[in-house]
Amino acid sequence: MENMINLTIDGVQVSAPAGSTVLEAARLANIHIPTLCYLKDVNQIGACRVCVVDVGARALQAACVYPISEGMVVKTNTPEVRSARKTVVELLLSIHDRKCLSCVRNNNCELQDLCRDLGIDDDDRFAGERNHYDVDDASVSIVRDNNKCVLCRRCVAACHTLQNVGVIGPVRRGFNSAIESPWKVQLAQTSCVGCGQCIVACPVGALKEKDSIKAVDALLASGKHVVVQPAPAVRAALGEEFGMPMGTSVTGKMVAALRRLGFAKVFDVDFGADLTILEEGTELVQRLTNGGVLPMITSCSPGWIKYCETYNPDFIPNLSSCKSPHEMLGAVIKSYYAEKAGIDPKDIAVVSVMPCTAKKGEAKRPELSVNGLADVDEVITTRELARMIRRAGIDFANLPDEDFDSVLGESTGAGVIFGATGGVMEAALRFAYEVVTGKELEQVEFHEVRGLKGVKEADIDLNGTKLSVAVAHGTANAQKLLDSVRSGEKTYQFMEVMCCPGGCVTGGGQPIVKSDVRAGVNVSAVRAKALYDEDAGKARRKSQDNEELKVLYKEYLGEPGSHKAHHLLHTTYTARDKYENIK
Amino acid sequence: MPDNKEKFEQLNQVIEELKDQPGALMPILQHAQSIFGCVSLDVQKVIADSLGVTLSEVYGVATFYSQFKLKPSGKYIVSVCLGTACYVKGSQKVLEKLSEELKIPVGDTTDDGLFTLSATRCLGACGLAPVMTVNDEVYGRLTPDQIPAIIAKYRG
Ligand code: SF4
Ligand code: SF4
Ligand code: SF4
Ligand code: FES
Ligand code: FES
A52: domain CATH number is: 3.10.20.740
pLDDT at residue number B7: 94
* C-alpha to C-alpha distance for A459 and A137, rounded to whole angstroms: 45
Give the ranges where A467-506 is alpha helix by DSSP (H). 475-486
Is residue A82 a part of any domain in this protein?
Answer: no
The distance of A143 to chain B (nearest Cα, Å) reads 18
The distance of A160 to chain B (nearest Cα, Å) reads 9
- DSSP E strand stretches across chain B: 76-81, 115-120, 132-134, 137-139
pLDDT at residue number B2: 45
pLDDT at residue number A264: 98
Q: Do both A184 and A267 map to the same domain?
A: no
Backbone φ and ψ for A242, nearest 5 degrees, come out as -115, 30
pLDDT at residue number A1: 55
Q: Do both A151 and A63 map to the same domain?
A: no
pLDDT above 90: residue A57 = yes
Confidence at A496, pLDDT banded by 50, 70, 90: very high
Instruction: For chain B, give every domain's residue range.
Output: 2-64, 76-155
DSSP string, A52-84: EEB-SSSS-EETTTPBP-TT-EEBS--HHHHHH
DSSP string, A375-389: S-SEEEEHHHHHHHH
The CA–CA distances, whole Å, from A88 to A54, A60, A109, A128 equal: 16, 13, 17, 15
**Residue that finishes a domain, picked among A181, A209, A237:** A209
Residue A66 structural domain? 4-77
Q: Do both A199 and A240 map to the same domain?
A: no
Q: What is the mean pLDDT of residues A444-459?
A: 96
Is residue A237 a part of any domain in this protein?
Answer: yes
DSSP 8-state symbol, A427: H
The CA–CA distances, whole Å, from A263 to A216, A225, A258, A346, A351 equal: 10, 8, 6, 17, 9
- Using DSSP, state whether A4 is helix, strand or coil: strand
Q: Is A394 exposed, middle or buried (0-12, 13-18, 19+ CB in 10 A)?
A: middle
Q: Do both A525 and A452 map to the same domain?
A: yes
A362 annotated active-site: yes
Closest CA to A429 of A542, A508, A512, A532: A542
- Count of CB contacts below 8 A, A vs B? 41
CB A339 within 8 A of CB A557: no
A15, A83, A346, A367: which is the annotated catalytic residue? A367
Query: For chain A, what percent of residues have pLDDT higher than 70?
Result: 100
Q: Do both A226 and A189 map to the same domain?
A: no
- Using DSSP, state whether A416 is helix, strand or coil: helix
* C-alpha to C-alpha distance for A497 and A505, rounded to whole angstroms: 14
Q: Do both A387 and A511 map to the same domain?
A: yes
Backbone φ and ψ for A543, nearest 5 degrees, come out as -55, -35
Query: For chain A, what percent of residues have pLDDT higher than 90?
Result: 97
* C-alpha to C-alpha distance for A171 and A153, rounded to whole angstroms: 11
Q: Which residue of B has its CA nearest to A183?
A: B59
pLDDT tens per residue across span A281-301: 999 999 999 999 999 999 999
- Using DSSP, state whether B118 is helix, strand or coil: strand
Q: Say whether the peptide bond before residue B130 is cis (omega within 30 degrees of 0).
A: yes
pLDDT at residue number A123: 87
The CATH number that applies at residue A135 is: 3.30.70.20
Confidence at A464, pLDDT banded by 50, 70, 90: confident
Closest CA to A367 of A283, A297, A309, A290: A309
Amino acid at A332: V
Query: Which residue puts its alpha carbon closest to atom 4 of ligand 3?
Result: A155
Is residue A84 a part of any domain in this protein?
Answer: no
CATH number, span B76-155 = 3.40.30.10
Q: Do both A224 and A181 map to the same domain?
A: no
Is residue A579 a part of any domain in this protein?
Answer: no
Q: Do both A478 and A550 map to the same domain?
A: yes
Q: Do both A195 and A51 map to the same domain?
A: no
Closest CA to A412 of A227, A289, A276, A505: A276
pLDDT tens per residue across span A306-316: 999 999 999 99
Q: How far is the CA of B38 from the centre of ligand 5 (A)?
A: 28
pLDDT at residue number A129: 87
**Which ligand is located closest to the Cα atom of residue A100?**
1
* pLDDT-flagged residues of chain B (< 50): 1-2
* C-alpha to C-alpha distance for A241 and A510, rounded to whole angstroms: 10
Backbone φ and ψ for A169, nearest 5 degrees, come out as -170, 170
pLDDT at residue number B1: 46
Q: Do both A224 and A205 map to the same domain?
A: no
* C-alpha to C-alpha distance for B30 and B37, rounded to whole angstroms: 10
The two beta strands, B137-139 and B132-134, are: antiparallel
* Contact call for A172 and B41, based on CB within 8 A: no
Kindly state if the Cβ of B144 falls inside 6 Å of ligand 5: no
CB atoms < 10 A from the CB of A472, how many? 27
Closest CA to A197 of A171, A232, A160: A160
Is residue A442 a part of any domain in this protein?
Answer: yes
Kindly state if the Cβ of A531 falls inside 6 Å of ligand 3: no
Q: Based on the structure, what is the number of domains in chain A? A: 3
Q: Do both A457 and A560 map to the same domain?
A: yes
* Contact call for B55 and A173, based on CB within 8 A: no
Closest CA to A67 of A30, A27, A25, A35: A25
Q: Is A403 left (phi over 0), alpha (psi -120 to 50) or beta?
A: beta
Is residue A83 a part of any domain in this protein?
Answer: no
Q: Do both A173 and A285 map to the same domain?
A: no
Kindly state if the Cβ of A51 falls inside 6 Å of ligand 4: yes
pLDDT tens per residue across span A3-45: 999 999 999 999 999 999 999 999 999 999 999 999 999 999 9
Residue in A160, A172, A173 nearest the CB of B54: A160
pLDDT tens per residue across span B28-39: 999 999 999 899
What is the CA angle A451-A454-A458, rounded to 5? 65
